[in-house]
Chain A
Amino acid sequence: MFRLSLLGARGHWGGRALLSALGIALGVALGSAVHLINRAAVNELAAGVRALAGDADLEVRGARAGFPEALYAELARLPGVAVASPVLELEAGLAAGRTIRILGLDPLRAGLVQPALFGDDPRRRLELLKPDTVYLSAAAADLARDGKLRVVAGLQTVELEVAGVLPASSLRGVAALADVATAQWRLGREGQLNRIDLRLAPGVDRELLRTAIGAKLPAGVHVVTVDAVEESGANLSRAYRVNLNVLALVALFTGGFLVFSAQALEVARRRGEHALLRVLGLQGAGLFRLLLAEAALIGAAASALGVVLGWAIAKAAVSLGGADLGSGLFRGVQPELALPIGTMAAYWAAGIAVAVAGAWLPALDAARVPPAQALKAGDAERLFERAATIAPGLALLAAGTALSQLPAVGGLPLPGYAAIACLLVGGVLLMPWLARSAFERLPLSRRPALALALAQLRGAPGQAMVSLAAIVASFALMCAMAIMVASFRESVDRWLSAVLPADLYLRTTHAGESAWIEPEFEDQVRKLPQFSSVEFLRSQRVLLDPARPAVALLARDGEADKGAMRVPLAGKGYQRRAGDPPPAWISEAVADLHRLGPGARIELPLAGRRQPFIVAGIWRDYARQHGAVVIERETYVALTGDRRANDAALWLARGATPDQASRALRALPGGSALEIAGPGEIRTVSLRLFDRTFAVTYALEAVAVLVGLFGLASSVGAIVLSRRREFGMLRHVGMTRGQVGGMLAAEGGLLAALGVGAGIALGAAISLVLVYVVNRQSFGWSMDLHPPWALLAGLSAALVGLAALVAWFSGREAMGVGPVRAVREDW
């Protein structure tokens, strides 16, 4: 019986089946590729953390600014500590641009904790003791072709001797090993460390010792287990990875929709055939199973293709551009791609499940029709009759709205994603009702082609609904993402204007953490006549919570009126009162993570002590995802004694040009090492960076849209083809070919217009969830809504035009056989 059905199916399934199969394959391919790449990147990162941690049981971590080396001696002497290994780890600038992670360690200690570093060649440890000597990681090998690594320290360049290159398994990423004393001295961190790896003696109570160590640590320094370090590394990128996975799932979802539309039309067309099978003794349930099996078969083949394709995409992507996928979180990570059989099987199964789910409703419908009724001609409109009730759609929309109000779960905006799914499905379910109401209210035109088109849409909305659903679903998603990305980009653009008020900027932070400006240099800059006003900034990193990445601490020269820091505040600031501690302006990420509002107290670990500050305002910061705190530089210097600076904002004096001013800066001793840029330049670079970050998002979005358009074209075409005899009849009653074509174009256009209108409305709702819920919860960024009107209008017009065009074109094809033969088909 199954074979019989397949025989029947063979003739029709060609193009459309292929399209829906392609949709599934594409969805599975994207989903599995994104997953494979992300997993490879995270594994690589975790392996790096593990390799670096080696056999360490505990890790004492401070912010990059570090802690005095005496702490290392104190911890090394603690009973229960078998080995203590001191580390000074910095992202250092290279004279030739780029940065490199420099690991200053004691090779005699590190060898005991991280055997991988020296395991293949123990003599390397002794080589490394030599002053100004480094070993490069394999990924950094090409940074020092002449055997010298030129590192920026302050505004100077230090030349380090490259003693060799480590095997790729010893040290990952772009990194260099140096003796801790060399790192301290050459990078200007005399007497400082920022990490201590501890291996405990056997049988020691780890928690007990951890508590004991914790009690000895200065503020801002924490003792954590290596597992926690590894986990926080993965957490860094989790929201971004989940976001990409969801985008990939959207493609799969759209593929499922394609199956649905193809199957619905198939079931309608093969109604007679199915009735015949029923008459031959196949039960309704049997037919249902038969149709699902058909869908499963197609799903299995398509999904298998998708998995293979996904593997190929992942492999190509990793070998071409590494595993970064635009987030910047995995820059420089060159992972090994593993083939996780289980996961790939799950993606394969998901593809099948989606195909079966898409076929469910049409199959159910086919099985329920009494065979006698089905054998009559013209009974193809039942599928959506039941769906014309509005209760389920409304319920889903309500559920979506409610879900969008919930907080994140485990740091992920899962309710937000669920809300989007509810809104989407709810909106699609409301379409039959909406279409009926809309088309009934539309006045009939006098022109026969238009009148006929509207009558057709009013009379037989079932088939049209399939196309409509495809349009709404894909267009809503397209709009939502377009609005979200445009809002984000526009918000970033405006934010850049707000944070770049000066005429000129000079930076050392492009050179990692090893460059800084000495007070003498600062004085010289202040004395330059080209500038009317100069504000310096010291950037540091502080560890507020050991389980999270360090937060940027920006100590800025205040303006003349104290307490008004030039930051783009989100919401209202706090009016300081007498007796308040000094003010701090925290970025949204810090506010969200630590649940702080204006007027709240915050303690910042400065110079090993907890210093109280009051939150004077919350500001928007798109530059530092892990959060940033701005304080007054005066306060910072008073508390830490650190008079170094990293960046400066410069306002030109009357008559000075940016060129003159840059030249004057460069002419200062050490000035040639500075990066000097105008606000326009910085803005351009930042936006380019933004676009690069979203490149993968754009690509996934484009694929989802493409799949949607496929669906639209195929379903419109199918409907038209199935109405061949109708066209023959119309030709017999005197309509011209042109009029029939016009009627079809009008039908397609009207349908698409309704779909596009509904899609925009639905997409706007979804974009609200994306902008205000998903993005905020994933990345801690708030943004303003800036819909890209022109883009949306253009897309709408294109879609309506495309639908009309496809309908007209299919009509031409359908009428190609001539009216007489077309009508004869009825017999």
Chain B
Amino acid sequence: MRRRAFLALPLALLPAQARANAVAYPAVTPDFRLDFPRDHGAHPHFRQEWWYVTGSLATSRGETLGFQVTFFRARPDFATANPGRMVPRQIILAHAALADGRHGRLRHEDRAGRASLGLAGADEGTTRVWVDGWRLELVRNAWRTRIAAREFALDLEIRMRRPPVANGRDGYSQKGPGAGEASYYYSVPHLLVSGSVERAGARQEVSGTAWLDHEWSSQYMPAAAEGWDWIGLNLDDGGALMAFRMRKGGGAAPGSDTLYAGGTLLSPQDVVRVLAPDQVAFEPLRRWRSPRTGTTYPVAMKVAILGREWLIEPMMDDQELDARASTGTIYWEGAVGAKLEGATVGRGYLELTGYWRPMRL
């Protein structure tokens, strides 16, 4: 379902105006069935697609770290007769971040490249997406990711412990009130992570849990939306929760800025419950203002779902990502903990986009 600040890229790249030489993207339609391993791979005809891994890691010394690894594929909207091999027919972007409570802010870095000459690409058939030396690859039932950034490095194996959970109706995830404002979307919660993290030249073994989203679409954001809030939680009881809302410019009343909402609740018994727009409500509890950009984010949230109130608290307030140099936007994406009636019940990631400036489609 949701998100991805990377949307900023396709938006800038692909102004929706009809152009004589614009390419025709396939529509996202409800008559769709997920098919694995094919749908772990890329769907290059669609406008945009991402593989999004978020999770928490524990070091051998008992530190807790949050991590995020995203690969994004965009198909620019221009058609050209240029037969050259360097034509940017597909763009691959990657974004990696490491949240470290002691460091006080995110370590993050991004990469971008055209899928050309084998230097970047996204294969069909199974997950294999890369840009330069950064890569995410599915081998049997485990993803392997390697990220070598300037401030940190990740080398992780992310093992599936349960089959993917289709969001929306069999993976058709409505994103807005309008027809066609939808994506194909599945999540894989409760992934088992092992591997190593390198910070300041020091390498440490880590283990933890993670969440993977894979989503592709040709029209992700409703026209009126300014941004979205998204949350994905691995619950301690074995369940999982994904919820999102698309925001529009709104009034002061709670929820009046919600344009569309949805989610998926997975019970410990593996029962999937698809959440309708009126079953999900986000309410900011506490705001944090970035000293760097002056942007204010609701970093603590109350999410009401089916009569229960989930309290979302960030691992640290400053998990802002300034991605202006790569994707042209600034957003907040951070490790969070979730509480129900005062008790911690799970961990996950919260994403807040469109707070710096409206994300325009």
List chain A positions with a Cβ less than 8 A from chain B: 69-70, 72-73, 76-77, 86, 106, 108-109, 111, 115, 118, 122-123, 126-127, 129-132, 179-182, 184-185, 190-191, 202
Contact = CB atoms under 8 A, between A and B. Distances in A.
B32 interface: no
Contacts of A202: 150
A70 B12 contact: no
19 contacts: A69-B85, A76-B132, A108-B114, A126-B9, A126-B13, A127-B12, A129-B76, A130-B76, A130-B78, A131-B21, A131-B78, A131-B80, A131-B87, A179-B88, A180-B86, A181-B86, A181-B87, A190-B84, A202-B150
A76 B84 CA distance: 19
The 9 A-B residue pairs with the shortest CB-CB distance, nearest first, are: A73-B117, A131-B80, A108-B112, A181-B87, A185-B82, A181-B86, A126-B12, A181-B84, A129-B88
Contacts of B13: 126, 129
B177 interface: no
Interface string B96-140: 000000000000000011100111000000000000100000000
A452 B83 CA distance: 94
Interface string B239-270: 00000000000000000000000000000000
Contact of A181 (B9, B21, B82): B82
A55 B326 CA distance: 17
A601 B278 CA distance: 84
A122 B329 CA distance: 9
Given A76-B119, A130-B78, A184-B86, 12 more contacts: A72-B117, A86-B86, A108-B112, A108-B113, A115-B325, A122-B325, A123-B12, A123-B328, A126-B12, A181-B87, A185-B84, A191-B84
Contacts of B325: 111, 115, 118, 122
Nearest to B131: A108
A220 to B, nearest CB: 21
A77 B114 CA distance: 15
A126 B74 CA distance: 11
Nearest to A133: B78
B324 interface: yes
A129 to B, nearest CB: 5
Nearest to B82: A185
Given A126-B9, A129-B13, A202-B150, A181 B88 contact: yes
A377 to B, nearest CB: 87
A468 B134 CA distance: 81
Contacts of B113: 106, 108-109
Contacts of A123: 12, 328
B42 interface: no
A122 B91 contact: no
B9 A106 contact: no
Nearest to A83: B132
Nearest to A182: B82
A190 B76 contact: no
A118 B12 CA distance: 15
A77 to B, nearest CB: 7
Contacts of A106: 86, 113-114
A191 B86 CA distance: 8
B238 to A, nearest CB: 42
A181 B12 CA distance: 20
A122 B324 contact: yes
Nearest to A74: B117
Contacts of A109: 113
A127 B76 CA distance: 10
Interface in B34-83: 76, 78, 80, 82-83
B5 to A, nearest CB: 13
A21 B94 CA distance: 70
Contacts of A118: 325
A202 B150 CA distance: 8
A650 to B, nearest CB: 35
Interface string B323-338: 0111010000000000
Nearest to A202: B150
A180 B86 CA distance: 7
B119 A77 contact: yes
Contacts of B119: 73, 76-77
Contacts of A182: 82
A686 to B, nearest CB: 39
Contacts of B12: 123, 126-127
A419 to B, nearest CB: 55
Contacts of B117: 69-70, 72-73
A69 B82 contact: no
A77 B120 CA distance: 11
A129 B92 CA distance: 13
Nearest to A106: B114
Contacts of A70: 117
Contacts of B84: 181, 184-185, 190-191
Contacts of A185: 82-84, 87
Contacts of B76: 129-130
Contacts of A69: 85-86, 117
Nearest to B86: A181
Contacts of B83: 185, 190
A73 B326 CA distance: 21
A184 B80 CA distance: 13
Contacts of A86: 86
A555 B324 CA distance: 49
B91 A129 contact: yes
Contacts of B82: 131, 181-182, 185
Nearest to A180: B86
B331 to A, nearest CB: 14
Nearest to B324: A122
Contacts of A72: 117
A123 B11 CA distance: 10
A191 B117 CA distance: 11
A638 B334 CA distance: 63
A79 to B, nearest CB: 9
A73 B150 contact: no
A108 B9 CA distance: 12
Contacts of B9: 126
A132 B79 CA distance: 11
A119 to B, nearest CB: 8
Contacts of B86: 69, 86, 106, 180-181, 184
A197 B117 CA distance: 17
A123 B9 CA distance: 8
A109 B92 CA distance: 12
A379 B117 CA distance: 92
A122 B328 contact: yes
A41 B37 CA distance: 61
Interface centre among B84, B86, B88 (most CB of A within 10 A): B86
Contacts of B326: 122
Contact of B85 (A115, A122, A132, A191): A191
A185 B88 CA distance: 13
